[in-house]
Amino acid sequence: MKGKLYLTPVPIGNYDDITLRALKILGEVNVVVCEEIKIGKRLLNQYKIKKEILPLNEHNEQTASDEVVALLLNGKNIALISDAGSPVFSDPGATLVSKCLANQIEIIPLPGANSLIPALIASGFNINRFFYYGWLSPNNERRKQELTKLKNVREVIVLMETPYRLKQLLRDCKKIFGARKNAVLAYKLTMPEEKIFRGTLKELYNYAEEKKLKGEFVLIINNRK
């Protein structure tokens, strides 16, 4: 009998944000698959859970996915987690999901912590519709080209980036969308330093520059007319 793959969200910063169901699944499965062994062990230790752990990340996704599928076909139940938030979404795991579907292995997605929805619902913008673009290119010129195209999308636009490119992204957005465009920066959500900054792109950039902000964030730009 084939095992099941549980896509299991974990907290994005605050360990209290784990769900009861996620704890139950992590305690019951045979194997936990994570991005980085060290981070995965730290998470499980936080909840006093001891499990076999296997790494699956951008460096070994193909071979690790084959290994995990073999375990599932052998009847092992497996939980896939990311370093933070929901697995597969902006994280490794898509290859594993595709291989599981090809082998008719049941996939069970669990709801849980993420940064996207909290940022949106706290933004104050009309979010009946929004355009999620996600991660921009790390290449300077390509990123500017992507932002220039996004300028024509007349919606609430959601962007994500690595912490060390926060000020660079705000500078580019200010230049391309316009300094007076309203935006929200959801910074270090669920962590003690959590802050939601609201203002124009110019104001957000100036604040990030002044306070030397560097941390996980979601940027939401109100690009509606």
For 102, other C-beta atoms within 10 Å of its C-beta total: 9
Instruction: Fill in the DSSP letter of residue 85.
Output: B
Domain locations in the chain as residue ranges: 5-109, 116-222
For the four alpha carbons of 31, 35, 36 and 39, in that order, the dihedral sign comes to negative
Quote the pTM value.
0.93
What's the pLDDT at 66?
98
- pLDDT band at 223; cut points 50, 70, 90: very high
* pLDDT, average across residues 33-61: 97
**Spatial CB neighbours of 202, under 8 Å, sequence gap ≥ 6:** 174, 179, 180
What's the pLDDT at 133?
96
Taking Cα atoms as reference points, which of 92, 85, 137, 78 lies closest to residue 111?
85
User: What percentage of the chain exceeds 70 in pLDDT?
Assistant: 100
d(CA 85, CA 191): 13
d(CA 157, CA 121): 13
Structure token pair of residue 67 = 């290994």
134 contacts 194 by C-beta, under 8 angstroms: no
What's the pLDDT at 225?
77
What's the pLDDT at 177?
98
What's the pLDDT at 12?
97
What's the pLDDT at 198?
98
In which element (H, E) is residue 37 found?
helix 37-46
CATH 3.30.950.10 describes domain 116-222 = yes
What's the pLDDT at 114?
94
Residue-wise pLDDT tens digits, 160-209: 999 999 999 999 999 999 999 999 999 999 999 999 999 999 999 999 99
What is the average pLDDT value for the chain, to the nearest integer? 97
Cα 51 versus chain centre, distance: 24
Classify each residue of 128-152 as buried b or exposed e, where b means 16 or more C-beta atoms within 10 Å of its C-beta.
Answer: eebeeeeebeeeeeebeebbeebee
For the four alpha carbons of 152, 153, 158 and 159, in that order, the dihedral sign comes to negative
Determine the Cα angle at 117 with ends 82 and 92, to 5°: 20
What's the pLDDT at 120?
98
Strands 78-80 and 156-160, sheet pairing: unpaired
CATH fold group of domain 5-109: Cobalt-precorrin-4 Transmethylase; domain 1 (3.40.1010)
* pLDDT, average across residues 14-23: 98
Residue-wise pLDDT tens digits, 56-114: 999 999 999 999 999 999 999 999 999 999 999 989 999 999 999 999 999 999 999 99
Answer whether residue 6 shows pLDDT above 80.
yes
What's the pLDDT at 222?
98
Instruction: Fill in the DSSP letter of residue 164.
Output: G
Answer whether residue 147 shows pLDDT above 90.
yes
